Structure 1
Amino acid sequence: MKNIKFLILGIFFAIVLSKTEAISWYRFYEMFRFQSFHMFGIIGGAVVISAIIMQLFKSGKIKDINGNKIVPKPKKKGFISTILGGTLFGLGWGISGACAAPIFVILGFKFLPALILLVGALLGAFLYGIISRKLPN
């Protein structure tokens, strides 16, 4: 019962993804071929909202459920690791036509070939967990 708010938030997020057509392979295809602004607008909006929320975290205006200040950990700047990670993520995204959240929404529409994407994403996360200590991050 305690986690019902997260279930409701997840359902809302899935509805937003499907209504904005962010789960459509065709929309990803258009984006990667620079034929449409649709996905760039969604991603750009998410980046702007995330930047605003991070600034609110850092200023102490958003607190956790216990009233404690949320302090994001500073990240080590790494050019090579960022380029390699972004390239691998982008290749996987471009080949599959979906990132993590849309996979579950697509499965909710009973499009069973998305199970292959889910297995690939889980396998990739598992392999990253195994080799992450050896990577330059």
Structure 2
Amino acid sequence: MGKYIKFFLVGILFGIVLVKSEAVSWYRIFEMFKFQSFHMYGIIGTAVATGVILLLISKYRRIKTMEGSTLKVPLKQKGFSRYIIGGTIFGLGWALAGACPGPMYILIGTGVFSILIVIAAALLGTYVYGLLKDKLPH
């Protein structure tokens, strides 16, 4: 249990950063989807760049997982339509809910309890995907 405390603390720090940067604000998200403000694009770009840098560092330094295995990034199959369809569904959910999956839990901490409806819908969608996964083209 003690080894997970650092992940808990990083999660709290992540939540504070998202709240302070207004990344969990419905109004900021709405402005982003209407191309009225590029605030969120800067946050997303920073997150992507940070992820790429950390992945490269972990690859070259051969950092291992908690289980002791090396990190492996599986190759993606080529295909365009599945990314367009999946991205559209994700984007519509994000625009309608005003939050992507990470900030949904942060919003509970800020007292926005109506997000529980969105979390329940996300869990239901995940469950339905699990049922249909073998029948979907991947």
TM-score w.r.t. the length of structure 1 is: 0.90
Which ranges in structure 2 are unaligned for 5 or more consecutive residues? none
Instruction: Choose 73-82 or 48-57, whichever is displaced more.
Output: 48-57
Report deviation, 1:65: 5.1
Tell me if 1:120 matches 2:121.
Answer: yes
After superposition, what is the alpha-carbon deviation per residue over 1:6-42, rounded to whole angstroms, capped at 9, x for unaligned?
A: 1111111111110101000000000000000100100
In the alignment, the residues of structure 1 paired with residue 79 and residue 8 of structure 2 have an alpha-carbon distance, to the nearest angstrom, of 35
Q: Percent identity?
A: 47
Q: Aligned partner of 2:61: which letter?
A: K
In the alignment, the residues of structure 2 paired with residue 22 and residue 62 of structure 1 have an alpha-carbon distance, to the nearest angstrom, of 32
**SS of equivalent residue, structure 1 residue 36:** coil
Asked if structure 1 preserves the Cα contact closer than 8 Å seen for 2:18 and 2:24, the reply is yes
Q: Which residue of 2 aligns with 1:37?
A: 38
Tell me if 1:130 matches 2:106.
Answer: no
Report deviation, 1:90: 0.7
Q: Aligned partner of 2:24: which letter?
A: I
Q: Which residue of 2 aligns with 1:75?
A: 76
Pairs within 5 Å for 1:56-75: 56-58=57-59, 60-64=60-64, 69-75=70-76
Q: Which residue of 1 aligns with 2:108?
A: 107
Asked if structure 2 preserves the Cα contact closer than 8 Å seen for 1:57 and 1:72, the reply is no
Asked if structure 1 preserves the Cα contact closer than 8 Å seen for 2:65 and 2:71, the reply is no
Q: Which residue of 1 aligns with 2:89?
A: 88
CA RMSD in angstroms, aligned pairs only: 1.6
Q: Aligned partner of 2:128: which letter?
A: L
Which ranges in structure 1 are unaligned for 5 or more consecutive residues? none
Q: Aligned partner of 1:63: which letter?
A: I
> Are residues 8 and 56 of structure 1, via their aligned partners in 2, closer, same or farther at CA, if it must alter by over 3 Å?
same
**SS of equivalent residue, structure 2 residue 73:** coil
